Structure 1
Amino acid sequence: MEPCIPDKLPIDDLDWRAILPNVGKANAALARYDGMLQTLPNPAILLSPMTANEAVLSSKIEGTQATLDEVLEADAGIATSELRKGDIEEISNYRSAVGIAEAALEERDITLSLIREVHQRLLQGVRGRNKAPGQFREDQNWIGRRGDPIERARFVPPNPVALKTELSNWEAYLASEDEDPILQTAIAHAQFEILHPFKDGNGRIGRMLIPLLLYKRNTLSRPMFYMSEYLEDNREKYYDGLLAITERGAWKNWIDFFVNAMIIQAENNLEKVRLIRNLYDETQRRVVDITHSQFSMATVNALFERPVISSTMFADSAGFNNRVTANNMLRQLEADNVITRIREGGGRTPAVYAFPELVNIAEGRDIFRRRPPEA
């Protein structure tokens, strides 16, 4: 196969009348989601498990197998199996890379320089660390089954000699505000995957860019939109849609797929955020009623920020000056079935607790079960 020659951006021959009605629906769905996002008192804390789950799912598309509960348990200090250790390190890097990008956007635009910085953090010390982290490729890559030569590749990205020019065109497109933000995001994401500018990590960087672009175009009040759930569930359509662009210029089909994905995911995200907000309000009331403590609000925030948490982390996060007081609080919450103990403490090993309802909302299924109330 020959390296592909990507279309120049912007795409000039789109059928706007066929595309825009669906784009309008996506804008409306995203506005409803963002409206709910703006009702949260502290989105970074309340949506922490959803942010972690996005890292899990985006990494899963690239072959990792670790689950959200395994990642949260590792955060709390529970030993990771050797089978999952590498996966969890990759997911941890993804979360750190997102943090770098989000912080940078307070002062910078999305540029090739920023993307290289984010990529360097993504591959630091994990699988792919020997594939030039933070550097655009200088040789030809291709996509196919492991071990297949380029002649059997499913897709061959642009020649590295042409890559610099193509990336400059892509970067200039990001800086433009002539197109609808959702349409621009759909095209920019696809073009990044087509360019495949890194030796590894292209899919994860490309999916990271989706909420960042929407935020930078003022479509989101915060760069917190989680799309990998839909893309993971529809992985083959996702890949086929990208491939069809280079095979037959099927931009409209791709945009239809992406925009429909955004509509569905916006509604799913909206429901999760609604459930989390309601759970936050309910948990505040319960913890106050149970503990009557001056640390009630700090306790609730600690559980939402770390829904799997060790007793030591809990004391530090909630600001307890006395570990005995913190442990008494945890015992009260466990007795009233707010949290569940998932590891016993002993000696220098702290107990670990899970906040089941929050984890289950983020994961979309029951992972941690609340123990039945005592008779």
Structure 2
Amino acid sequence: MTDWPEHEHQKVAWRSTSRRGNRDDRTLSEITVSLPPHIASLDVPPPPPREILRARYETEELEHVAGDILGPLAGFLIRMESVASSRIEHLDASTTAFARALGGLKENSSAVSMVSAGRAITALISASETSIDLDEILHAHELLMRDDPDERSYAGRVRDVQNWIGGSHFSPRNALYLPPPPELVPDYLTDLLLFANRDDVDPVAQAAIVHAQFESIHPFTDGNGRIGRALIGAVLRRRDVTPATVLPVASALAADTDHYFGLLTAYRRGDADAIVTDVALCVEVAAREARRTARSFIRYSDAWRHVVGLRAGSATESILDVLVGLPVFTAEQLTAHTGLRERAVYRAIEQLQESRIITEVTNRKRDRVYAVTDVLDEFDDLDERIRSRITRLRAAT
């Protein structure tokens, strides 16, 4: 793909609509925007076979090993992806804060944004099993941004203004990247979706190029990175590479954000090989480490039974069977999920707390939120394993 077309550039008029910024911001009259190539019908040469084969092998093994816990594992991995993707956008929160946000607490805005990202990723990937269309992308963006006080008016809407990356906050002066002007965005998105729904391109290469092209179009005023990374999972789902799971590829991309942004810059200069090869490596590492998490999940139920010392048929034993799939919950949610009596659920919660299988992540008397300790710990551990492994592999290449 060394002959992939690079972005062209065009000078357009600019007029500031704000009185904020310094004199240079207010008097800026001309900017140079980037014009990505149209890619719908471009020939895509085969990507590096070794990296692609490794990525496909690891994804197939993941779903084979996960077996009966694919549902709970998929939910866990979506949460992983939402957190890592948000961190790339400098939205960070502790695992406990994220658990609180999952339980409905809105005390930490970054954690709430991570939960919104999870909803967006879930919606987009679930809707992409047969095709990827603009309505679903817009719906995912609406889920992502509707609770953002600064951006909710643009939630689910393609931008009608010029945006930019880097430089001044008040004008495109000294911007690192200027996407195409807003009037061209609909046509670029139509072209992108035609490419995203092709079946004659290697799926991993397709996912990488769709992501890079989407980031280059930058069709929203905010949230482009998180929706763009979700499109990697959407393409892999549509092409049946990950029919039941979602890979935490963002954890691998977030291991070195300078490297990641460098890949996007290289793509804009006509080098698609770099991001295709790197995304293949990210898919491989994310799938391999997620497989280790799946094995841990399989062992949890028996380990918890050993710790608690349960009698067969008890309410607590019934609850243990659902904890992996419900790692953050309230007593009311657990009651609804299991169908057990409320009194039995509260007794089981007390027993599980005493055994340190679950922990309360709120400090209040009503509407308490609980989290499964092992799953919470695995959250941080999986992210660290992915970041460490991808860093070592990149250094070796």
If the TM-score is normalised by the length of the shorter chain, which range does it land in? 0.7 to 0.9
Q: Does 1:243 align with 2:278?
A: no
* Superposition RMSD in Å: 2.7
Q: Following the alignment from structure 1 to structure 2, what is the Cα–Cα distance between the partners of residues 70 and 288?
A: 27
**Is 1:268 aligned with 2:289?**
yes
What is the identity, as a one-letter code, of the residue corresponding to 2:217?
A: L
Please identify, of 149-158 and 126-135, the stretch whose mean Cα deviation from structure 2 is larger. 126-135
Distance 2:320 2:190 in 1: 46
How much does 1:127 deviate?
4.4
Check the 8 A contact 1:48/1:304 in 2, yes or no.
no
Contact 1:185 1:213 in 2 (8 A): yes
Cross-structure match for 1:31: 60
- Change in Cα spacing, 1:331 to 1:291, as seen in structure 2 (3 Å) is farther
Match of 1:164 in 2: 186
Q: Please point out which of 256, 261, 265 is paired with 2:277.
A: 256
Instruction: For residue 344 of structure 1, report the CA deviation from its aligned partner.
Output: 6.7
Name the CA distance, whole Å, in 1 between partners of 2:173 and 2:43.
31
SS of equivalent to 1:354: strand
What secondary structure does 2:282 align onto?
helix
Maintained 8 Å contact 2:63/2:245:
no
Offset at residue 176 of structure 1 (A): 0.8
In the alignment, the residues of structure 2 paired with residue 187 and residue 319 of structure 1 have an alpha-carbon distance, to the nearest angstrom, of 46
State yes or no: 1:320 paired with 2:347.
no
Q: Is 1:104 matched up with 2:104?
A: no
Taking the aligned partners of 1:295 and 1:343, their CA distance within structure 2 comes to: 24
Distance 1:257 1:276 in 2: 28
State the secondary structure of the residue aligned to 2:329: strand
Equivalent position of 1:211 in the other structure = 233
Of 266-275 and 288-297, more deviation after overlay is shown by 288-297
Task: Name 1:3's counterpart in structure 2.
Answer: 33
Matched, 1:357 2:387: no
Task: Return the alpha-carbon distance in structure 2 between the equivalents of residues 199 and 95 of structure 1.
Answer: 19
Output the CA distance in 2 between the equivalents of 1:203 and 1:109.
21
Amino acid across the alignment from 1:278: R
User: Which residue, 310, 325, 336 being the options, matches 1:290?
Assistant: 310
Give the aligned partner of residue 23 of structure 2. none
Separation (CA, whole Å) in 1 of partners of 2:367 and 2:116: 25
CA shift for structure 1 position 303:
2.2
Trace 1:1-375 onto structure 2 (pairs within 5 A). Answer: 2-9=32-39, 12=42, 16=46, 19-37=48-66, 39=67, 41-76=68-103, 81=107, 84=108, 86-105=109-128, 109-130=131-152, 132-145=154-167, 147=169, 149-246=171-268, 248-283=269-304, 285-286=305-306, 289-296=309-316, 298-321=318-341, 323-341=342-360, 346=365, 349=366, 352-364=369-381
1:165–1:309 distance in 2 versus 1, CA, 3 Å: closer
TM-score (norm: length of structure 2): 0.80
Q: 1:344 to 1:61 in 2, by over 3 A?
A: closer
Specify every segment of 5 or more residues in structure 2 that has no aligned partner in the other structure, as ranges.
Answer: 1-30, 384-397
Equivalent residue pairs, number: 353
